Amino acid sequence: MQDDVLPQERRSFDMSSARFALATGITLLDGIALGVILPLLPFLVLHFGARPLVVTQLVAVYGIAAFMANPVMGRLSDRLGRGPLVVISLLGTLVSYIGILASWSLVGVFAFRIVGGLFAGRASVLRAMVTDTMPSQVQISRIGTLSAAGAIGAALGPMLGAFAAFSRPAQIAQYEFILYVGIALTIVALAAFLLVMIFAKAPAQPAAVAPLGGGGTPAISGMQLFRLLWLPFALIAVVAYGYGVIFSVTALLVRLRFDWGIGQTGLLVGSLAASVALVRIFLLQRLTKRFGLDRTLAVSLAVGAGSLLAVGLCTNSALFVAAFILCGCSLGLASLIPTAMVSIKAPLPARGYALGISNGINAIVMAISASINGFWFDFISPSSPHMAGALILAIGLSLLAERAFRARLASAQ
């Protein structure tokens, strides 16, 4: 009897490890493709004659679309399985990149970024896929590894894009070649995932996923999840606002302050992503295991607020790069901890839905941040978005302090 149980447990472990390896590989390729494309988009919008305010609205419309689609995709993955939703999401992203290249207009860039946002939910689906039925410490480790793979991809992507830009003297040729690279990488990720699904033995449905067609565990409403997870959701929003400052106005700021182009901006973003990947690989699990989630998050928010303020005020390029990378690393660490809280605390039958909501919150707050930052950058001052972002991060720090104070009062009673 024991001989029958051990192979079954080993097979379950092997399939879980296979899902994890597959998700990590897809996240890496997807991160490279995204890293190639993202630094290009602000320059592409400016190429079509738009103002800086319009550049930031590109981030906003993508975030609004992702906000609407992420919870739906997470809910569907709970019911239909993780794999089909990953395939659909990759196909949507591929269509969005091809559409930008084919349309070659300002309207086309906005329209197909909206398409990309509507299919941007695979990160939450992949996280649910690798954390189903796993204990809390394993969930933290796997979420950190997936995010690190995405950060490594995001580091390699801009550098690859910068190389592509430097290898093409004509500006239009640079833009087109970068888009072709992003399309090719997305095709590779999609083909790899499909090949594994078709030719490898399909992993068993996780306990969180109902059989095809429904009829599994009772549905959990979004309101119930918000009551249970309001603090992690609020902290996700706080960190997302800070990230929104970095991603919406950095290209504009370095262009204005240092006269940098797409090549230098790509190297800056690539260096940031590489640093974030190292922090997530080597520090996340060690810090959370030693100091706990709340303390690690509090320090990350404090460092993020100070360094974001420094980014807005630095006029020396070397100090700017140092503050920028420090800010990105602290926010990169801070962004994962509330996500881990959601994964750990969410009921198993609604884990994909909860992670989808968290991704949706992240997307809509980044959209709001980008929209506001564009206005402030264009009409108030280039450093005003960073000051506001530092204030928002300080508010998140106060939420954690208030929770710690209440916990001490409860323990004293």
Give the pLDDT confidence of 195-207 residue by residue, as tens digits.
877 765 544 444 4
Cα angle 352, 80, 33 (rounded to 5 degrees) comes to: 65
Which carries the bigger pLDDT value, residue 162 or residue 111?
A: 111
pLDDT value, residue 205: 44
Q: Give per-residue pLDDT as tens, 27-46.
A: 888 888 877 787 777 778 88
Q: Give per-residue pLDDT as tens, 256-303.
A: 899 887 777 777 877 887 788 788 778 877 888 888 888 999 999 999
For residue 167, name the pLDDT band (cuts at 50, 70, 90): low
Q: Is the pLDDT of residue 14 over 60?
A: no
3 state SS for the chain:
CHHHHHHHHHHHHHHHHHHHHHHHHHHHHHHHHHHHHCCHHHHHHHHCCCCHHHHHHHHHHHHHHHHHHHHHHHHHHHHHCHHHHHHHHHHHHHHHHHHHHHHCCHHHHHHHHHHHHHCCCHHHHHHHHHHCCCCHHHHHHHHHHHHHHHHHHHHHHHHHHHHHHHCCCCHHHHHHHHHHHHHHHHHHHHHHHHHHHHHCCCCCCCCCCCCCCCCCCCCCCHHHHHHHHHHHHHHHHHHHHHHHHHHHHHHHHHHHHHCCCHHHHHHHHHHHHHHHHHHHHHCHHHHHHHHCHHHHHHHHHHHHHHHHHHHHHCCCHHHHHHHHHHHHHHHHHHHHHHHHHHHHHCCHHHHHHHHHHHHHHHHHHHHHHHHHHHHHHHHCCCCHHHHHHHHHHHHHHHHHHHHHHHHHHHHHC
For residue 397, name the pLDDT band (cuts at 50, 70, 90): very high
- Per-residue pLDDT, averaged over 156-169, amounts to 69
Q: Give per-residue pLDDT as tens, 1-13.
A: 444 444 444 444 4
pTM beyond 0.75, yes or no:
no
Average pLDDT, the chain: 80
Q: Is the pLDDT of residue 327 over 80?
A: yes
- Across 62-66, 151-155, 218-222, the highest mean pLDDT is recorded for 62-66
For residue 91, name the pLDDT band (cuts at 50, 70, 90): very high
- Across 97-106, 305-314, 354-363, the highest mean pLDDT is recorded for 305-314
Q: Give per-residue pLDDT as tens, 375-392.
A: 888 888 889 999 999 999
pLDDT value, residue 59: 73
Q: Give per-residue pLDDT as tens, 219-256.
A: 566 678 888 889 999 999 999 999 889 877 887 888 88
- The domains of the chain, with CATH numbers, are 13-200+221-412 (1.20.1250.20)
- Per-residue pLDDT, averaged over 359-365, amounts to 85
Q: What percent of the chain has pLDDT over 70?
A: 87
Q: What percent of the chain has pLDDT over 90?
A: 18
- Per-residue pLDDT, averaged over 50-71, amounts to 80
**Residues 238, 240, 242, 244, Cα dihedral to 10°:** -140
